[in-house]
Structure 1
Amino acid sequence: MIDNSDVEFYKENGYLLVKSVFNASEVERMREGLERIVQRAAASKADSNAQWQGDFLPPEELKKLVLKGFHDVHYHDASFLQAAVHPNMAAVLSQIIGPNVQLHHSKMLVKPPEVGAAFPMHQDKPYFPHLNDTMLAASVHLDFADEQNGCLRVIPGSHKNGDLPHVGQYYLNHKQYPISQGIPCIANSGDVLFFNYMTIHGSESNRSERTRRNVLYQYREASDYPTENVHINWGQGLMVCGENPNFTKVSPKYQIIE
C-alpha cells in the first residue's frame, strides 16, 4: 500500500493519507453497520450528542450543532472488526508503527448535513497517554470529505512539538491554534488518514448538504504501555499484526463488580 517515501513522509509530518484502503463494497458494509448502530443506540435510549463544548464557538452556535459519536464500534458490528484488521490496514501499520501492532480502541463520528459540529484543534495524547508515543489514529472515510463538510485538518510536523497545554485537557487554545491553521486533508470514501496522537488536528463544522461519516481506530506498538489508567476497555490490545513480545502483558486486568 505504501513505500519508503511514504513512511518518511509520515515520520517527518506526523500524518499520511493513504488512498483506496477499502473498496466500495467494504465501505458500504461499514455504512450499513454504522446506521444499525445509530438505530440500536436510539432504541436503547443511549443516543447522545457528542459535540465538543467550550469557548471556541459562541454558545448560540454551539447549541445548534450535532455530532454523533460512539466508542468501540468493533464490539457492535463485525464490519468494523474486519476493517480494523484488514490486510491493507495491517500493511500500512506494520510499516509506520512496526511489525507488532495492537488495536487500542475504535469510535464512529458522524457530522450531519449543515449542523455537523466542529472539532477544535487538539492532540489525542491527553486522552490516553502512552510511554513511547507510538499511538496513532487511522481515520477511515465513509464519505467524500472536503472543506465544505468538515474534513480533517492537520498541522504538519506538530507531533515534534511535544505535549502542549490543553483547555481542560480537551483542546488547544483556539486563538493560538485556530482550525484554519491546519491543512485540509481532502479524502474520498475508502481513503484512510493516519496521524500520530501528538499531531495537532481538528475540523470545521459541516456546512454542506452532505453527511461526513468517519470510523476512527487508534493503534499502538505492542510494547508501548499506557502511563495513566484511562480509556481502558475489555478488548484493548487485540493484535492486528505481528506478535506480542510480552507474554505476561496481553490484556488489561478487570474485576467484576456486582
Structure 2
Amino acid sequence: MSVKVDAQFYNENGYLLVKGVFSPEEVAEMREAVERVIQKAAATKYDRSHAWQGDFLPPEELKKLVLKGFHDVHYHEAVFTRALSHPNMTAVLTELIGPNVQLHHSKMLVKPPERGAAFPMHQDYPYFPHARHSMLAASMHLDDSDLENGCLSVIPGSHKQGPLPHVGAHYLNHKEYPLSLGTPCPAQAGDVLFFNYLTIHGSDVNRSERPRRNVLFQYRDPADLPINDEHVNWGQGLMVAGENPVFKEYRADYKLA
C-alpha cells in the first residue's frame, strides 16, 4: 500500500489530508486499543475530560460535553508505537519535515456520540513553541469523520501568519476566529490529516450518534529546538526516521505517581 504526498500543497496551505494511510484491519486493531485505554483509565484517578471551559458555550451546556483525551498512548498500547512509525507515515513525514523525524508526543481524542465537545480555533504553537516551526500534527482517523460528528476544520495558509496571541495561552478569540471560518476536512477511517502547528484549526461538537475517535501524533525535526521546556515528558524524542544530529545524554525527569 502506497500513499500520495503533495508536499507543495502542504507548504502552501499548512495541511494535507492523506487517504488510506492505514488499512481497515489496522484501524480495527487501534479502535480496540482505544477502548482498552478508556476502560483502564476509568478505573484510576487519571480519567478526565478535556472539554474546553471558556465562554464558547453556556456553562449548563459545557457540563454535558465530553472529550476524552489521554497523552502518550504509545506507552499503553504497542499498536500505537507501530502506527506512529508505520512505513506509510514515515513516507509522508520525510516529505513534509525532512529526512530526520522525531516524535514529540502522542494523544488520543475521543468525541462520544451526541455530546462530544468542540475544540475552538487555535494554533498548537503555544503548547510547545519551537525555533524553526517544523512541528506538525498527524491526526489519525479511526472513524469516518464529517461535520455531523465534529471533524477537524483548518484555515488554509494561516501558518504563514506566524504565532498569534491566544486567550489564556490556548485558544484564539472565538469571536474573531469562529469555527465557521475554517475549511472542514472530512475524512474516512484510516486517513491521516497532517497540519503544521501554526495552522489554525478546531472542531465542532459531535451531534451525531457516531463516535469520533482520533489518535494524534506530534512530530518535529530533531534539529528544531524548543524555545522553552513546556510540554516535556520523560519519553520524548523517539526517532521515527533518519538520525538525531544532536547527541546528548537523555535523562528522565519525572516523579512516580
Fold-level match, TM-score > 0.5?
yes
* 1:195 equivalent in alignment to 2:195: yes
* Residue matched to 2:253: 254
For the residue of structure 2 that corresponds to 1:106, the secondary structure is strand
Q: Which stretches in structure 1 are left out of the alignment for 5+ residues? A: none
Superposed displacement of residue 45, structure 1? 3.2
Post-superposition CA distance 1:175-216 (Å, at most 9, x none) = 000001101100000000000000000000000000000000
Separation in structure 2 between the aligned mates of residue 210 and residue 256 of structure 1, nearest angstrom: 38
Q: Deviations over 1:119-142 (max 9, x none)?
A: 000000000011110000000000
Query: TM-score under structure 1 normalisation?
Result: 0.96
Secondary structure in 2 matching 1:26: helix
Partner of 2:19: 19
Match of 2:4 in 1: 2
- Kept after mapping to 1: 8 A contact 2:235/2:252: no
Q: Which moved more, 1:168-177 or 1:42-51?
A: 42-51
**Cα distance in 1, alignment partners of residues 255 and 170 from structure 2:** 30
Unaligned runs of 5+ in 2: none
Residue 171 of structure 1: aligned partner: 171
Residues 1:155 and 2:187 are matched in the alignment: no
* Contact 1:237 1:251 survives alignment (8 Å): no
Question: Partner residue of 1:90?
Answer: 90
The answer to whether the 8 A contact 2:150-2:212 is kept is: yes
Are residues 1:233 and 2:226 paired? no
Give distance in 2, aligned partners of 1:89 and 1:56. 34
User: Would you say how many aligned residue pairs link Structure 1 and Structure 2?
Assistant: 255
Is 1:141 matched up with 2:141? yes
Alignment of 1:47-196 (within 5 A): 47-196=47-196
Contact 1:235 1:251 in 2 (8 A): no
Distance in 1 separating the partners of 2:61 and 2:238: 40
Give the fraction of aligned pairs with identical amino acids, expressed as a percent. 68
**Change over 3 Å in CA distance of 1:23–1:255 after alignment to 2:** closer
Q: Provide the C-alpha distance between the structure 2 equivalents of 1:257 and 1:33, rounded to a whole number of angstroms.
A: 24
Aligned partners of 2:254, 2:73: CA distance in 1, in Å?
Answer: 23
CA positional deviation for 1:256: 6.1
Shift of 1:97: 0.2
State the distance in 2 between where 1:255 and 1:46 align: 16
In structure 2, the partner of 1:45 is: 45
How much is the aligned-residue C-alpha RMSD, in angstroms? 1.4
Q: Check 1:152–1:198 CA distance in 2 against 1; reply closer, same or farther (3 A cut).
A: same
Task: Give the Cα–Cα distance (whole angstroms) in 2 for the partners of residues 41 and 185 of structure 1.
Answer: 30
- Cα deviation code 1:135-191 (max 9, x no counterpart): 000000000000000000000000000111100001000000000110110000000
Query: Is contact 1:236-1:251 (8 Å) kept?
Result: no
Between the aligned partners of 2:43 and 2:64, the Cα distance in structure 1 is: 23
**Cα 1:187–1:243 shift into 2, 3 Å:** same
Q: TM-score normalized by structure 2? A: 0.96
